[in-house]
């Protein structure tokens, strides 16, 4: 079954396995931090998302990876992790992000980037009709290392005007969940997947999907519905 525990566990194991491999290679070469910037540790998740679109009924040639670019409105272009097309229509664009350590400002940066990407796609479609007769469909995927810091309440700050009470006492993990829920609720994104994961020992990793509306299973279902809709519109 798509989005099953076994499938997600395999993806999580591959995520950590590749990340550890890259860390070792960079340490041996005297380079630090390169493993995160390379993005190679996200390949298993990227491949899994591609599989979801293919199994939903699209040919493999329609599902592009390797940072394909889409034109923008406020900027020239933006590279997405997965771009899916069918008969001249943008079936979907998927952004993948991860955060292992370094919470704090990085969490805000991830959310700001996601907001900007969605706004840009929406604007270029509204102004130029770039992506065809069917409105574009976007998904955001976030993998977060679970640590005591990500699960503890964020240190409060003083704001010039009153803060939304929902942010009071939440953790970084909860902040991501709230952001993703609001992304979808405000129709900036159509789907998401939020995954937390941690080491349990040598070559042992656990995961959780704390947001019920943003699991691998719900993502698979939404992708299937999107593909069915696009094919119904374009094939009739």
- The pLDDT value recorded for residue 24 is 80
Dist. CA 25–CA 159, nearest whole Å: 43
Q: Which long-range contacts (CB under 8 A, 24 or more apart) does 184-188 make?
A: 184/213, 184/214, 188/115, 188/118, 188/119, 188/122, 188/138
- Domain range for 63 is 5-235
d(CA 76, CA 70): 9
**Which residues lie below 8 Å from residue 79, measured CB to CB, with a gap of 6+?**
67, 68, 69
Place of tokens 């005297």: 30
pLDDT at 30: 57
Instruction: Name the domain count of the chain.
Output: 1
Taking 70 as the pLDDT cut, the residues of the chain under it are 1, 26-39, 105
pLDDT, tens only, 187-201: 999 999 999 999 998
Q: Give residue 19's pLDDT.
A: 87
Angle between helices 216-235 and 5-28 (to 10 degrees): 100
Distance, CA of 23 to CA of 7 (rounded, Å): 24
Give burial (CB, 10 Å; 0-12/13-18/19+) of 101: exposed
């Amino acid at each position: 079954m798509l989005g099953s525990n076994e499938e997600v566990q395999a993806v999580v194991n591959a995520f950590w396995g590749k990340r550890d491999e890259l860390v070792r290679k960079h340490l041996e070469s005297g380079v630090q931090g390169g493993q995160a910037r390379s993005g190679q540790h996200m390949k298993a998740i990227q491949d899994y998302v591609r599989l979801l679109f293919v199994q939903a009924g699209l040919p493999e040639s329609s599902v592009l990876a390797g940072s394909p670019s889409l034109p923008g409105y406020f900027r020239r272009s933006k590279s997405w992790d997965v771009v899916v097309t069918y008969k001249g229509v943008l079936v979907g664009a998927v952004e993948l992000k991860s955060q292992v350590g370094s919470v704090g400002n990085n969490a805000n940066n991830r959310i700001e980037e996601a907001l900007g990407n969605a706004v840009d796609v929406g604007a270029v479609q509204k102004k130029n009709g770039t992506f065809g007769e069917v409105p574009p469909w976007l998904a955001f995927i976030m993998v977060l290392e679970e640590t005591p810091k990500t699960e503890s309440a964020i240190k409060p700050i003083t704001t010039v005007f009153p803060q939304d009470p929902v942010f009071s006492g939440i953790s970084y993990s909860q902040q991501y969940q709230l952001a993703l829920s609001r992304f979808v609720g405000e129709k900036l994104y159509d789907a998401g997947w939020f995954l937390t994961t941690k080491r349990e020992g040598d070559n042992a990793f656990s995961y959780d999907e704390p947001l019920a509306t943003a699991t691998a299973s719900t993502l698979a279902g939404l992708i299937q519905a999107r593909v069915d809709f696009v094919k119904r519109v374009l094939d009739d």
